[in-house]
Amino acid sequence: MNRIWLYVFLIPGFCSLLSVTGWGGDYHLASFQAEVTAPIGHALMGGGIAPASEVVDPLYCKGVVLLGSDKPFVVASIDWCEIRNAAYDRWREVLAAAAGTDRERVFFSCIHQHDTPVADLEAQRLLDQAGLEQSLCDVSFHEDCVQRVSGALKASLKNPMVVTHYGIGQANVDQVASNRRVLLPGGKVGFPRNSATLDPEVRAADVGTIDPHLKTLSFWNGEKPVAGLSFYAVHPMSYYGKGGVSYDFVGMAREKLQRERPEVFQMYFSGCSGDVTAGKFNDGSPENRPILADRIYDAMKKSWDATKTYPIESLDFRCVDL
C-alpha cells in the first residue's frame, strides 16, 4: 500500500498533518477562490512600508475542500503577508463553518508577499486606542474578505469533483533561492543577502543551504488532473515597498500555469524560508520579477511532468498538541 505524509503546517501549539494511504469509496474535491486585493490606502506589510497606491496584481485566496472522510477538511493559501492571532482563528472558524467541519481541519497559509496586507485584529485594537486607526490593517476590510472567501467555499460545495488518485512530483528550481547567511571577507559571518541584493561580493557568495526542490501534490479523477498544490521554500519577493499591491513572482508563475491549464486548479504555498531569499539572483530591478517568475513556472511544469499517480484508498487525519 502506498503511503505518503503531507506535513501541511507547523503552528505554535500544535502540529497538523495528513496521511494519504488512498481513498476507498466516493471522495470529492471542491475548489474555490475569491479576490482579496488590498484597497488603495491600505497598509502593506503591517504598515512597515508604503501603503497601497496602485494595484499591480489582484490578490487571491485559493483553496480546496476534500470531502469523503468523517468530516471535510480545507487547505487554502492567500496572497497576504501575514495573518496573526485572532485574525488567524477567525479565518479558520468561518471557513470551517462554511465547510461543515472543525477548525482544526482547516489548513490556512499566507504566501507572504510583502506588498500585501498583514492582519492582526488584537494588535489593531491596541493601535486604535493610541489613535492609530487602520495603521496595521482595516478590520472591516478583513472581515469582508473572510466572508467573501467563505461564500466562495460554500458555493464550491454545490459542484465537487470526484477524485480517485493523488500525484506527487518535484523538480529543481534554477537560480531563485539562496540562503541569507554569507561568509564575508575576513571570515566574518553575516546575513546581508535580502530579497534584493546589490553588493556584488554578497551576491557572488555560495547559494548556501536551501531546499532546491519545488514539489507538487495533485489530485486526479482517473487520468484527468483536477487540482495541483505547489510548494517551494523562498521569500516570495523581487522588490517591494513602493505601494504597488502585487502577488509578485510566485503569483505570476501560478497564474501563468493557471491560464495555460484552466481545467486544473492551481495553488501555491511558501515553504519554511525565513532565511531563504532570491538575493543571490535578484538586484531588485522591476525587470527581474518576470525572470524569477519564469524560473518558478518552469519548475512547476517540470514537477507536473515528473508526477507519478497512485490510487487513493483511505484518508487519515491527526491533530496533535505540542
**How does pLDDT run across 4-18, given as a tens digit for each residue?**
344 443 333 333 434
Which span out of 198-207, 251-260, 271-280 was modeled with the highest average pLDDT?
251-260
Residue 249 to residues 22, 55, 82, 240, Cα–Cα distance (Å): 34, 15, 18, 11
Band the pLDDT of 319: cuts 50, 70, 90.
Answer: confident
**pLDDT exceeds cutoff 90 at 67:** yes
**Which has the higher per-residue pLDDT, 211 or 70?**
211
User: What span, in angstroms and rounded, lies between the C-alpha atoms of 267 and 137?
Assistant: 25
Residue 269 near residue 296 (C-beta atoms within 8 A): no
**Which has the higher per-residue pLDDT, 121 or 20?**
121
Residue 76 near residue 63 (C-beta atoms within 8 A): yes
- For residue 25, the model assigns a pLDDT of 53
Of the ranges 68-72, 88-92, 213-217, which one carries the lowest mean pLDDT score?
A: 68-72
- For residue 301, the model assigns a pLDDT of 98
- For residue 185, the model assigns a pLDDT of 80
- For residue 16, the model assigns a pLDDT of 40
pTM above threshold 0.85: yes
Band the pLDDT of 167: cuts 50, 70, 90.
Answer: very high
- For residue 130, the model assigns a pLDDT of 98
Q: What integer is the mean pLDDT of 151-160?
A: 98
Q: What is the pLDDT of residues 215-254, one digit of tens each?
A: 999 999 999 999 999 999 999 999 999 999 999 999 999 9
User: What span, in angstroms and rounded, lies between the C-alpha atoms of 116 and 82?
Assistant: 9
Of the ranges 9-13, 26-30, 150-154, 302-306, which one carries the lowest mean pLDDT score?
A: 9-13
Band the pLDDT of 320: cuts 50, 70, 90.
Answer: confident
* Share of residues in the chain with pLDDT > 70 (%): 92
**pLDDT exceeds cutoff 70 at 202:** yes
Cα end-to-end distance, the chain, whole Å:
29
- For residue 203, the model assigns a pLDDT of 93
Average pLDDT value over all residues in the chain: 92
Secondary structure of the chain as H, E, C letters: CCCEEEEEEEECCEEEEEEEEECCCCCEEEEEEEECCCCCCCCCHHHCCCCCCEECCCCEEEEEEEECCCCCEEEEEECCCEECHHHHHHHHHHHHHHHCCCHHHEEEEECCCCCCCEECHHHHHHHHHCCCCCCCCCHHHHHHHHHHHHHHHHHHCCCCEECCEEEEEEEECCCCCEECCEECHHHCEECCCCCCCCCHHHHHCCCCCCCCEEEEEEEEECCEEEEEEEEECCCCCCCCCCCEECCHHHHHHHHHHHHHCCCCEEEEEECCCCCEECHHHCCCCCCHHHHHHHHHHHHHHHHHHCCEEEECCEEEEEEEEC
- For residue 190, the model assigns a pLDDT of 87
